[in-house]
Amino acid sequence: MPNLLEVRGLTVELPTENGWVRPVNEVSFALADGETLGIVGESGSGKTMLSLALMALEPPGTRRSGEALLCARNSSRAILSGPSPQAAPLSSRGNPSHRTGDGFSSASGRADSRINLVSASPREMRAIRGGEIAMIFQEPMTALNPLMRVGSQIEEAIRVHDARCSAAETRRRAVEALKLASVPEPELRARQYPHQLSGGLRQRALIAMALAAGPRVLIADEPTTALDVTVQKQILDLLVRLQSELGLAMIFITHDLGVVAEVAGRVAVMYAGRIVEEGPTRDVLREPRHPYTAGLLRAAPKLPRAVLTPIPGTVPPFDSLPSGCAFAPRCEFHRAECDAAVPDLLSVDSAHTARCILVSESVAQ
């Protein structure tokens, strides 16, 4: 499968009282058309900042470097200079009749072109954000505007990318997006305010908003946080179904390895701003090659019930990272060599890498 998104050496720097810190540090990965990549790590590992950097929604004063090359349906110049392109209807997403010869869908019929999300101007990002790459935020009550009806917020996302759409058509497409997100009574829900919806319905409304303009890359940032277990399962099933039906490429961010096993074909484990292990989900979870990944697995609840083994210590602050491996102070396999320099990502096999000097040895779970 061709790569829809290629991230190369992406670094995000934030100003602090103690100088610049890097919550995202030389992160590289690729996302293929129709693939789901899980990104896992503890709070403070840099997962959310990575997603915000890809959307150009990082805090003011942030510095970004590296590349994040997105194969957009149209070049940014064509999007900005020409009339607003109309996204393919949601019901036709994933349909072969709407796909170009190189395997990417294209509502305009023009060839895809690469756009660097890191160097794109704010105006270019407004054209790309939502129409090419969209994000589901982890807090539906704060992500939705409490003063606007749910339908109006979805309609706004549609109008940004298709200004020629009539008011009646915009409303119809907003209701269609709610139906696609399995929202019951979508016409009624579209007229309601966020506080009138349950947590699960608010999350579905965010999913509908993200999909309304027909993006091909979807970032889901812990979309089941603060939801009860049964609703979590429903949201996960919904995202898996939509990913398959619409042919979406998805980045699924979570701290739950069990969720990753259910939704993602590949997983990248983040720690202290870096990817420390990446590979096929089954391989990484069955035979982790980084002690941090192994520690996460030991700390995860299991059936039948077993004793949980927490990882000692906490993720170090970004302004006081160790000189070598950031995980070294918490690692049971710590050696003097770990403090010399940051380990490189070493190949376990052609598809599996780990950032550990002990990668040639099996790390027991």
Tell me the one-letter amino acid at 152: S
Contact 145, 155 (CB under 8 A): no
Helix axes 199-211, 167-180, angle to 10 degrees: 120
> What is residue 225's predicted lDDT score, i.e. its pLDDT?
79
Burial 9-43 (b: 16+ CB within 10 A, else e): ebbbbbeeeeeebbbbbbbbbbbbbbbbbbbbbbe
> What is residue 77's predicted lDDT score, i.e. its pLDDT?
43
- 41: tokens are 């790590």
Alpha-carbon gap, residue 62 to 52, rounded angstroms: 11
> What is residue 287's predicted lDDT score, i.e. its pLDDT?
94
Q: Are strands 353-354 and 346-347 parallel, antiparallel or unpaired?
A: antiparallel
From residue 52, alpha-carbon distances to 42, 89, 118, 139 in Å are 17, 26, 11, 14
3-state secondary structure of 38: strand
Alpha-carbon gap, residue 253 to 138, rounded angstroms: 10
Alpha-carbon gap, residue 138 to 107, rounded angstroms: 29
Its pTM surpasses 0.85: yes
Distance from the first to the final alpha carbon of the chain: 32
3-state secondary structure of 167: helix
> What is residue 90's predicted lDDT score, i.e. its pLDDT?
59
* DSSP alpha helix (H) spans, 212-331: 229-246, 257-263, 281-286, 291-299
- 123: tokens are 């105006």
Three-state helix/strand/coil letters over 42-87: CCCCCHHHHHHHHCCCCCCCCEEEEEEEEEECCCHHHHHHCCCCCC
From first to last of its 365 residues, what are the pLDDT tens digits of the chain?
578 999 999 999 999 998 999 999 999 999 999 999 999 999 989 999 999 999 999 999 999 999 999 998 754 444 444 544 444 555 455 543 333 333 333 333 344 588 999 999 999 998 899 999 999 988 777 889 999 999 999 999 899 888 888 999 999 999 999 999 999 999 999 999 999 999 899 999 999 999 999 999 999 999 987 788 888 899 999 999 999 999 999 999 998 888 999 999 999 999 999 999 999 999 999 999 999 999 999 988 776 777 788 999 999 999 999 989 999 999 999 999 999 999 999 999 999 999 999 986 655 54
> What is residue 138's predicted lDDT score, i.e. its pLDDT?
81
Tell me the one-letter amino acid at 80: L
Cβ neighbour number for residue 67 with a 10 Å cutoff: 15
Residues 6+ apart with CB under 8 A from 133: 5, 54, 55, 70, 117, 215, 216, 217, 218, 219
> What is residue 362's predicted lDDT score, i.e. its pLDDT?
59
